[in-house]
Amino acid sequence: MARFVARRLAGMVLVLFVVSLLVFAIFNVIPNSDPAQRMAGKNAEPILVKSIEEDWGFDEPLPVQYWSMMEKVFSGELISYGDELNVDERILEGIPATFSLCIGAAVIWLFFGILFGYLSATRAGGWLDRALTVGSVAGISIPVFLIAAVLLYLFTYKIELFPASGYVPLLDDPLQWAYHLILPWFTLAVLNIGFYSRVLRSNMLDVMREDYVRTARAKGLDERRVLIRHVLRNSLIPVITLFGLDFGATIGGGAIITEAIFSLGGVGQYAADSITNLDLPPLMAITLFGAFFVVFFNAVTDVVYAYLDPRIRLGSSAQ
């Protein structure tokens, strides 16, 4: 176990380092990204641009700029170029919204994904299976922004059932919190429900053919027990590991479009805004934030996988 943790920490440091380098490099290569120019505005005097450069240190060599930015990221003193506000603080403000969106959507997509997958597999070939299959494929194919647009149109405009935007903190008003998040939750979940139900269906059909399922029946277990304790349990292992990676990626940035469309003011929206403004500091910090979660959930997934499948145990040597 110690060996596992040590390796993962080392890996994480390496990944974050490479990511930060990449972001920094990309930024300095994109046209129109010169921050001094952007801050000075259009048709600014070269003298103004030069003085901004000196103030902010844009005239220093790139490695020095990189190093000082990194220092500020981790000391909490990073200031964005666009609105001159503290980046790290802004991220912290956005976390509740982002987490609420991602965790809520994840619970929904896991629940329905597993339910539909189970129903499809146990009634394979029947009408329910076919209906769910069509639904799943549709869910996977339709882009997030289209789903969001359709939901907004139907449920906030045609029928004024839900609010179109905004985030209400959980502790302020739980009911309003949920009320504002229902549409975003489903928008984010639809794609994954389709995907997960397909994956689970396929796994279950494979597992049902395994020898140990036959043994379970031969022991005289009732069918429900066979399906849940033997078939479902084993079929879920790849699904759970997939979920770990997906969830990490979602928090790490997969929710950007949804947040932006519903104006939830989370980290994703901050990222969307910063991209539009080509504002480097927030993007650097958010990218690192995202990368951290992806790597972290990757590691958690591996641990959970070892727990679910005793044939894979971390840190133990072969018998």
| Cα–Cα distance for residue pair 187/181, rounded to 1 Å | 10
**Is position 17 an interface residue for another protein (rule: CB under 8 A)?**
no
The three-state (H, E, C) secondary structure of 100-126, written as one string: HHHHHHHHHHHHHHHHHHHHHHHCCCC
Is residue 103 within 8 Å of residue 188, measured between CB atoms?
no
Q: What letter represents residue 310's amino acid?
A: P
Q: Among 192, 234, 258, 287, indicate the residue that binds another protein (CB under 8 A).
A: 234
Decide if residue 216 touches another protein (CB under 8 A). Answer: yes
- Count residues binding another protein (CB under 8 A): 31
> At residue 44, what is the residue type?
A
Site membership for another protein, residue 62 (CB under 8 A) = no
* Token pair for 278: 């080509």
Residues 182-211 touching another protein, rule: CB under 8 A, are: 210-211
Smallest separation, CB 233 to another protein (Å): 6
Least Å from the CB of residue 311 to another protein: 5
The window from 6-14, 30-38, 249-257, 284-292 that contacts another protein (CB under 8 A) reads 6-14
309 lines the binding site for another protein (CB under 8 A)? yes
Choosing from 49, 237, 240, 304, the residue that interacts with another protein (CB under 8 A) is 237
Structure tokens at 13: 């440091």
Contact 4, 315 (CB under 8 A): yes
CA distances to 95, 105, 190, 191, 249 from 100, in Å: 8, 8, 17, 18, 15
Which of 30, 169, 233, 275 is close enough to bind another protein by CB under 8 A? Answer: 233
The residues, any chain, with a CB within 8 Å of residue 214's CB and separated by 6 or more, are none
3-state secondary structure of 209: coil
Nearer to another protein, 180 or 230 (CB): 230
Under the binding rule (CB under 8 A), the answer on residue 215 touching another protein is yes
Query: Is the Cβ of residue 39 or residue 236 nearer to another protein in the bound state?
Result: 236
C-alpha closest to that of 259 among 54, 45, 99: 99
Give least dist CB 279 to another protein, A.
37
Closest distance to another protein from the beta carbon of 121 (Å): 15
Taking the least distance from each CB to another protein, the nearer of 2 and 175 is 2
Contact residues toward another protein (CB under 8 A) are 2-3, 6-7, 10, 210-212, 214-223, 225, 229-230, 233-234, 237, 308-311, 317-319
